[in-house]
């Protein structure tokens, strides 16, 4: 069981293939960063970001389908943005969108790293704020009582016929709650739906083996409809 921070999930959007290739190479040099998606067509990145699968976006400004400024309006504050462009006149407008940094092409790896350090600081601040706001427990309906469960004690949640079961170090706790509700109330960055019958605590993952997640010695299947999103959430493509 590992408590290391998950990698920062990066999306790269630039209509120039060589620019995309360079940014992919730069990202791959930096420990703690991973490329989850790269494209020369800006609209292809929209779904990835809207699904919450990106932490940091490297975004060109001048693109034929949609400008970088227009794209930022579509995605709102779903992820942090570093603008990459050959045009310095857009810098002020970029900062009005609260971008992390503005990389003027051609930029060196050193300059890229300065922007990445800023992004890491912003993301760490956001995570710290979220951690303060996030509850460390939930109350569930269990038989004839309301029971408190510490989130860190949950290995995974299993859907049964008439109940759901919280698997914890002290055993199973049966509840009348629904899986759908659990997806809503549990912290999305920690608890991940991997199957119609399973929600897992990502901090409890021991390893992955032939399409299954192993937690507390149990081999849990990853459903086909959940596989791509799950792999992206844990930083594996």
The model's pLDDT over 133-152, given as tens digits with 9 standing for 90+, comes to 567 889 998 878 899 999 99
Residues 146, 123, single domain; the answer is: no
Mark which of 91, 117, 133 sits at the end of a domain.
Answer: 133
Q: How much is the pTM?
A: 0.56
Domain with 191 in it: what CATH number? 2.40.50.1020
Task: Note the pLDDT tens digit of each residue in 137-194.
Answer: 899 988 788 999 999 999 999 999 889 999 999 999 999 899 999 988 888 778 999 9
Give percent of the chain above pLDDT 70.
Answer: 89
Residues 24, 110, single domain; the answer is: yes
Is the pLDDT at 113 greater than 90? The verdict is yes
Residues 6+ apart with CB under 8 A from 112: 23, 26, 103
Residues 6+ apart with CB under 8 A from 50: 75, 78
Residue 17: inside a domain: yes
């Amino acid at each position: 069981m590992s408590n290391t921070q998950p990698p920062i999930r990066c999306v790269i959007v630039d209509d120039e293939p060589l620019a995309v290739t360079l940014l992919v190479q730069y990202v791959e040099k930096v420990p703690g960063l991973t490329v989850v998606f790269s494209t020369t067509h800006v609209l292809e990145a929209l779904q990835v970001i809207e699904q919450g699968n990106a932490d940091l976006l490297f975004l060109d400004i001048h693109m034929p389908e949609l400008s970088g400024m227009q794209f930022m309006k579509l995605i709102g504050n779903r992820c942090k943005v570093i603008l990459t462009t050959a045009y310095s006149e857009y810098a002020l407008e970029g900062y009005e969108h609260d971008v992390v940094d503005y990389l003027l092409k051609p930029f060196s790896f050193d300059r890229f790293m300065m922007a990445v350090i800023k992004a890491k600081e912003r993301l760490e601040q956001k995570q710290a704020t979220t951690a303060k706001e996030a509850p460390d427990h939930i109350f569930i309906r269990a038989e004839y009582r309301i029971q408190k469960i510490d989130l860190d004690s949950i290995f995974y949640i299993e859907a049964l016929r008439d109940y759901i079961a919280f698997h914890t170090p002290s055993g199973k706790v049966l509840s009348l709650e629904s899986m759908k509700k659990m997806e809503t109330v549990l912290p999305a960055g920690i608890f991940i739906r991997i199957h119609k019958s399973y929600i897992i605590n990502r901090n409890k993952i021991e390893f992955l083996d032939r399409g299954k997640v192993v937690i507390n010695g149990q081999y849990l299947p990853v459903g086909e409809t959940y596989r791509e999103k799950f792999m992206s959430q844990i930083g594996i493509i």
